[in-house]
Structure 1
C-alpha cells in the first residue's frame, strides 16, 4: 500500500529571519500519468495539465516595467529538477509542477504570456542578472548572498526532508543523528551548507562526521538510497513527501527548515532594481485572495507550505544573516 502524508490547511509562515535556500537537484519524471494512492491522492504527471488559471488585473499589467512587457511575455526560468516542484511530464518534454503552475498564475495576473525556459541551477543567476530571464521560479530561497543581486517575491515556505529506506530505524532532528552516516546531497546547495555545519558540530564533540555523497542526478541518488549504498538523502521536503506517497521502499525520517538555524522562504527571483518584484508580489497576493494560489498548492499536496501573504524582499529591507 502506498503511504500518504496528510497536509494541513493553508498555513501562515511568519516572515522571520531569512537565510539559505532549498535548492533542487536533478530529477527524473514519474513513469505513471495519474498516480493515485490508497487515500485517493492523485498526482497528474501527464503533459495535459489543465492548469488552474486566474484573471488579469489591468492595473498590475499596466505597472509592469515597459522593457519587460513590450514583448507580451513573462520569461520565467526553472530547472525542471524536483518532483513535484518543477519536472518533466511523462512525455519527457513538457515541464510541469507547482512552480510552473504558480508562474502561470502570476503571468495571468500581469496580462502576460508565460514563456517558460529550462535552465541549470548553476546558470540561472548569471542569466537573470543579464536580463535573459525576467523571473526565476525554481525553489529559490532568500539569503544574504542572493539579496545583493536579486529581488524576491515570497510564495512558499522552505523545508528540507531527510529520507531513508522504509525498513530503517533512522530519525533525523539534528547533527547527532547523522554521525557516521552516508548522506547524499547536492553540491553547492543549502542542503550541503547545513550538513557541513552539522559535521563541524560533530567533530567538535569528537564524533564521526557524516560522509557526504554526490550524484549527478536525482535518479542516481534514489537508486543509491533504495539499494542501501547510502543511508540518507536530504532534499526539498516536497520531493521527499512525493516519493513517500508514491513508493513503498522509502520514507521521510526528518524535516528541518531550509534556512537552518534560521528560517527561509521560497521566492520568485528577479534582477535587483528592475521593479518587477513589486508587481509579482501584488499578483501573488491577489491569487491568495481569489483562492487560485491555494488550489495550486493543494493540487500538488503542498498546502502546508502555503503563505497567507507574499512580501517583497530586497537588499534594503532584508533582515537575515
Structure 2
C-alpha cells in the first residue's frame, strides 16, 4: 500500500515497452510540472492533487503504485507501448482519444476560469468583458479561444510567454483578467490574496484516467476506487486542499457515474454495480 515517486529521464527511452507487472503492483506517470496537480517540492520529490490521488489509490487497492514524473508529450505513447499500466496525469476525455484509449469516468471538470484582482466587479456573463483586456498564455488553447471571440465579445487579448506573466499583468493593472484552466487559475488565486476567482466558462469536458484498449478489468478496478473516493468525499477534500474551494454538487469530483467509463464515449460499459467501499 505504497506509492513510489520517480523523476524519469526524459526522451524516447521512456516509450520502450516493458514486461507486465504483478497484479498488486502498477506503473503510472504524470507531468511533474503541472501545478497544482504535480509539481516539485522542497527537499525533492513532487506534490499535488494527482499525487495525493495516486497515494490514496494505492491505499484503497492495497497495492504498490510506481509513479514516474516525466514530460506530458511522452505519457500516452508510453502507455500504448506498455511502459505504464495507466496514466494519472489529468487527461481530457475526447472522442478522438476515446477511439484509441480506454478511459475511467471523469473525476474533475476541465473548464476555463477567469481571475481578476480582488475587489474587481463581479462578472456573470462573457459579454460583461466587453472593452476589457484579457491576458493569456501565448499559444495555449485559451489564447486561441479568446482571440476567436474578440469580435463577438469586444475584448482585447494580450498574450504572454507564460501564464505566470499573464497573471502578473492582472496584478499590475495591464489586464483586467486572465483566463486559463480552472484548476491552474484556482491555484494562482489560492497562492495570492490579491487575486479573486471570476467567471467560469464551462466546456462540458472532464479529466479521466486513460488505460490501454482491452484493459477493462484494470480500468474497472481503479474506477471502483475512484467512485468510493467520490462517495465518501475524499476527492472533494482534495479539491478544497489544492484549489481552495469545494466542488459543485453536480461536478465530476462528486457525481458517481453509472457503469464503467465516461458515458457517451467509446469504451463505456453500461454495467450496473454497487459501490463496495471499505
Shared fold per TM-score greater than 0.5: yes
Q: How many residues align?
A: 241
1:267 maps to which of 208, 222, 240: 208
> 1:221 Cα deviation (Å)?
3.4
Q: Mark the runs of 5 or more structure 2 residues left unpaired by the alignment.
A: 4-18, 270-278
8 Å CA contact 2:30–2:88 kept in 1: the answer is yes
Q: Report what 1:285 is aligned to.
A: 227
Decide whether aligned partners of structure 1 residues 315 and 234 sit closer, same or farther in structure 2, where only a CA change above 3 A counts.
Answer: same
Deviation readout 1:165-201 (Å, 9 max, x if unpaired): 3354473632662666242136354x345325434xx
In 1, Cα distance between equivalents of 2:189 and 2:50: 20
Deviation readout 1:60-92 (Å, 9 max, x if unpaired): xxxxxx924368233232343122x3222244x
1:303 maps to which of 224, 242, 246: 246
| 1:211 correspondence with 2:211 | no
Q: Report what 1:80 is aligned to.
A: 33
Quote the RMSD (CA, aligned, Å). 3.2
> 1:145 Cα deviation (Å)?
2.2
1:239 maps to which of 184, 201, 204: 184
**Partner secondary structure for residue 270 of structure 1:** strand
Q: Report what 1:256 is aligned to.
A: 201
Deviation readout 1:130-164 (Å, 9 max, x if unpaired): 23333222332211222122222121233321012
Q: Report what 2:11 is aligned to.
A: none
Q: Mark the runs of 5 or more structure 1 residues left unpaired by the alignment.
A: 1-50, 52-65
| 1:156 correspondence with 2:99 | no
**Partner secondary structure for residue 209 of structure 2:** strand
Larger deviation, residues 292-301 vs 126-135: 292-301
In 2, Cα distance between equivalents of 1:219 and 1:281: 34
Decide whether aligned partners of structure 1 residues 221 and 133 sit closer, same or farther in structure 2, where only a CA change above 3 A counts.
Answer: farther
> 1:267 Cα deviation (Å)?
1.1
In 2, Cα distance between equivalents of 1:239 and 1:316: 29
Q: Report what 1:133 is aligned to.
A: 84
Q: TM-score, normalised by structure 2?
A: 0.71
> 1:239 Cα deviation (Å)?
3.1
Decide whether aligned partners of structure 1 residues 134 and 252 sit closer, same or farther in structure 2, where only a CA change above 3 A counts.
Answer: same
Higher helix share: 2
